[in-house]
Amino acid sequence: MIAVDWGTSSLRVYRLDAGGAVIAQRRADLGIAACQGQFAATLLAQIEGWDDPCIVLSGMVGSRQGWMEVPYVDCPADAATLAAGVVSLQPPELPGRTLWFVPGVADRSNSQTPDVMRGEEAQICALIEALNHGSHMICLPGTHSKWVTVNQGRIDGISTAMTGEVYAVMRQHSLLGRSMNQEETRFDAFAFDAGLRRSGMAGGLLHHLFGVRTAALFDQLSASELPSYLSGLLIGHEIRASDLFQRVPRPVQVHLIGSDRLLSAYAHALVSLGVGVQRHSEQLAATGIHRIARQRGLID
């Protein structure tokens, strides 16, 4: 089968053997925003040479802005819930093949403000198989960071923080960016830690953001240090306000799923704040999609 992890900014395809092992994989910067509605053509080009009839997709490709909108399933959700919510499509551009879209998950426990995810649930499904049946906290950092609680093998809480997006817009479009190097800069642990410490002080995030400005104004941090300071400040606020820090007793460990670069920053921050971490690759998506497909009976 072919597993497709298709998000807002990237497209990852995996060819899997019957046991779910990855035989081949490809990646392109062709997120659903970039492919401009040409979903079939984009996918066909990406899986060229792979003739597997069964294609299972997860991520924003199943959102209102994607190929086909798939209704969310509600928490608590596990592989069986997700499998039951899978929706099929047989597009004319892919004769003889069926596409299966994995649903996203909605947390409606706060009735006034639901929370949602699309794509992360596949990675979590794969991780769950490796965990015991107790309570676990999983963080998937990104443009919209997801904090997910798993209990007895089921996803039972979702909380999203717009950390990555706030970082990007403040850096690109606010006064703060004018003092910073605009090219991607190396991670500066000293500046990151200073931002992380600042996030624990009084005054709130809106005030702390202005401190990035005064740090530049009074030459306390250089143009190459400021991005790491801003990153530490935002990630610190995200972590301190997360469910992790509200719980008594505080969980001693968080599972991190994501790219190496982001995971390094989050692991550094969490360890600094006294929380242990276990890192997992974002390629878990392929394993999770395979598990959901098997649960649905799409493969043996």
Size of the site for its own copies (CB under 8 A): 44
Using CB under 8 A as the binding rule, whether residue 211 contacts its own copies is answered as yes
Cβ of residue 146: shortest distance to its own copies, in angstroms? 10
Binder among 21, 41, 130, 169 for its own copies (CB under 8 A): 169
Q: For its own copies, which residue of 136, 198, 255, 280 counts as binding (CB under 8 A)?
A: 198
For its own copies, which stretch binds (CB under 8 A), given 114-122, 128-136, 268-276, 288-296? 114-122
- When asked if residue 248 is in the footprint of its own copies (CB under 8 A), the reply is no
Listing DSSP states for the chain in one string gives -EEEEE-SS-EEEEEE-TTS-EEEEEEES--TTTTTT-HHHHHHHHTTT---SEEEEESGGGSTTSSS--PPEESSB-HHHHHHT-EEE--TTSTT-EEEEPP-EEE-SSTTS-EEESSHHHHHHHHHHHS-SSEEEEEE-STTEEEEEEETTEEEEEEEE-HHHHHHHHHHHSGGGGGS-SS-----HHHHHHHHHHTTSTT-HHHHHHHHHHHHHTTSS-TTTHHHHHHHHHHHHHHHHSHHHHSSSPPSEEEEEE-HHHHHHHHHHHHHTT-EEEEEETTHHHHHHHHHHHHHTS--
Candidate residues 174, 182, 253, 259; the one interacting with its own copies per rule CB under 8 A: 174
Q: Indicate whether 182 belongs to the interface with its own copies (CB under 8 A).
A: no
Comparing CB distances to its own copies, the nearer of 69 and 279 is 69
When binding is defined by CB under 8 A, the residue of 30, 122, 209, 284 that contacts its own copies is: 209
- Among the candidate windows 85-93, 234-242, 268-276, 292-300, which touches its own copies by CB under 8 A? 234-242
| 75-83, 122-130, 241-249, 257-265 -> range binding its own copies (CB under 8 A) | 241-249
| Closest CB to its own copies among residues 128, 234 | 234
Residues of this chain that bind its own copies (CB under 8 A): 112-116, 144-145, 159-163, 165-166, 169-170, 172-175, 194, 198, 202-207, 209-211, 213-215, 217-218, 220, 234, 237-238, 240-242, 246
